[in-house]
Amino acid sequence: MTEELVTADPQERFQDFLKTEKYRQRLIQMAIEGKTSIIIDFEDLMAADSELAENLRKKPDEYLQYASRAAYNQLQIEDPEYAEQIEKVEVRIRELPEATSLRALGSEHIGKLVMVEGIVVRATPVRPMVMRAAFKCKRCETIQFIDQTGSFLRAPVRCSDPTCGRTGPFEFIQEQSTFIDSQDIRIQERPEDLPPGQLPRALTVKLVGKDLVDVARPGDHVSIVGIARASAPRIPKAGRLRVFRLHLDAIFIDVKSKEPELSRITPEEEQKILELAKDPWIHRKVIKSIAPSIYGYDHIKEAIMYLLFGGVPKHLPDVNVRGELNLLLIGDPGTAKSQLLQYVARIAPRGLYTSGRGTTAAGLTAAVLREKGGGMTLEAGALVLADKGVACIDEIDKMRPEDRVAIHEAMEQHTVSVAKGGIVATLNARTAILAAANPALGRYDPYRTVTENINLPVTILSRFDLIFVLRDVPDEETDAKMSQHILELHRHGMAPLEPPIPPDFLRKYISYARNIKPVLTKEAIERLKDFYLSMRAASKTEGSPVAITARQLESLVRLAEARARVALRKEVLAEDAEAAIAIMNRSLREVGIDVATKKIDIDTIMTGKPKSLRDKLQIVLSTLVEMERETGMVERDVLLEELKKHGIEQREAERLIGQLIRDGTIYEPREGYLKKT
């Protein structure tokens, strides 16, 4: 009896496997949807017939044909009408037990079934490929069909009509040939799998068939089951090279990150998530779970929590309002900024970390590359790869200004536009940006404005929802706790406190929460409105700075929505609005403040000059213009004397004049004289 089983035809064994209820359902479903392929889960096959599964892995070409014929025979039983319409059933194999890393893919895998995971970095357009070519003999007009394999079109050797039998010439007839869609994609190792100091490896994957092309786009995380192949590049006149190139013929492609991580949440985990959300102290728990090894900074961890959960984007007919929050940390050296960023990149459902020094505009947005065939392709950059995730940009102040401009559009419009080399495209970059910068003078100087403290243009500063300053101020009590914390951490080699929510679970919690779309309640709207109006009213009095603009109001809404999301609530309550106002106030007090008058002045962020400074510059300028009318050129010393009457002391006056010269508003026609440009 056992003998018969072993020698049973593989096709029959496949058919026995396909007769199970699950796969009969799939075949019927396939006929209903009008598809030509059926998906087989490898583990089901392993469980049903391990020897068959092993053979399929070792000799995929041969065994896939058996499987395809078996599926077709079974389809004839299930739905004979549909079976007549299609010629064959493609079998797609899903999820092998273990994935082969792109690094380990080598000569021993050629011709075997493997599964690889990575990020799609570029994709060619979909092109038709000939499967069966029809050729017409030009002499006797007989038509013959030739099945095509390989990368070149093969013509018949001689005419099939015995009366003719000539060796050509033949004409290719497009109408009678059969074509199939094909596409090449290039996948690269995921940043988190990279061994340090290595360049990421890439692999070309060939996709053939309607259900494989255009499934994955640049930026998607994919896992691909396919057959590893090697092909030798041809050199004209010299023949083939001895060194072959590996590529993969895909059989099944699974996109991991349409909605990041959602597919991986099991019903039990969902139950746990819902349980956790009922905890009244959920916000504290999440904050405590963010970078537990870093001491203190509760307000910054709170802001990072809002950034991870994000607000709700609004798509109106005329404008789009972003939902993602942007956060900037400015801090003295050694205040754990980079550590926070690295942690967020690890915990976010799609997180990327990059540092300002080695980052270019093309690497952040998109690069246009020339293909071997002469066409141009787009390659997605970091902000596009982090779509619907978080991009952490460290040392943003060290980036070259021309590269930094590339972030502007991504921060406000959430798209990346490219117009180069005949490609005009707009890609999605719905990315929350968490950036860190060092103060320009090495340490943050509280007596200067933000714009004087950082080398960042105002255009970028005004696009951040929250800006925080991490100052390293000696303080006996804090320093004692901090040193204790750090030394304990080094002694045990682990965090002194266990995070209330483990990182892996927190990541799932975040991706689950991001599908909730909270709506503002009347109470929350009232709170936000009162705060906004009271801040605006403060600027009514003559000579008062503008404290807040509509941009901050939108930021407040996003913060309140994010806070509601943390508790998995469908609506934004008054307490969320209060928390959003509190953290916005904290940010404004740290950075949006006029150092001279100690009043909140949003212009320090929006225009780079607080109102008090603008007023003084105006006095200097008008005095200069008046004196110019009389003398033509104004002596510096005379101007300084005149300004003393307006209550501006010599040192300050010198500084203001210096600023006006830098801005190009006035100039020195000759030593010691000034004139308006």
Distance CA 661, CA 617 (A): 11
Kindly report, residue by residue over 3-55, the tens digit of the pLDDT. 444 556 888 888 888 888 888 888 888 888 888 888 888 888 888 888 888 88
pLDDT category at 526 given cuts 50, 70, 90 is very high
What lies within 8 Å, CB to CB, of 195 at 6+ separation is 103
**545 neighbors 600 (Cβ within 8 angstroms):** yes
- Neighbour tally for 443: CB within 10 Å: 14
**206 neighbors 155 (Cβ within 8 angstroms):** no
Its CATH class, for the domain covering 107-255, is mainly beta
Question: If we measure between CA atoms, which residue out of 430, 219, 408, 417 comes closest to residue 320?
Answer: 430
- Residues above pLDDT 70, as percent of the chain: 91
The single-letter code of the amino acid at 61 is D
Distance CA 511, CA 258 (A): 12
Q: What is the pTM of this model?
A: 0.70
How far from 299 is each of 232, 287, 566, CA to CA, in Å?
A: 59, 9, 16
Helix axes 10-18, 60-78, angle to 10 degrees: 50
pLDDT at residue 277 above 50?
A: yes
Kindly report, residue by residue over 399-452, the tens digit of the pLDDT. 888 877 878 888 878 888 888 877 787 888 888 899 998 888 778 777 777 677
Domain 611-676: CATH architecture, name and number where available: Orthogonal Bundle (1.10)
For residue 239, give the H/E element and its range: strand 239-240
Distance CA 69, CA 87 (A): 10
pLDDT category at 155 given cuts 50, 70, 90 is confident
Question: If we measure between CA atoms, which residue out of 286, 117, 140, 254 comes closest to residue 189?
Answer: 117
CATH of domain 267-589: 3.40.50.300
Higher pLDDT, 620 or 578: 578
CATH topology of domain 2-94: mini-chromosome maintenance (MCM) complex, chain A, domain 1 (3.30.1640)
Domain boundaries, the chain: 2-94, 107-255, 267-589, 611-676
pLDDT category at 522 given cuts 50, 70, 90 is very high
**294 neighbors 338 (Cβ within 8 angstroms):** no
Evaluate the CA torsion angle 331, 398, 436, 536 in order and state its sign.
positive
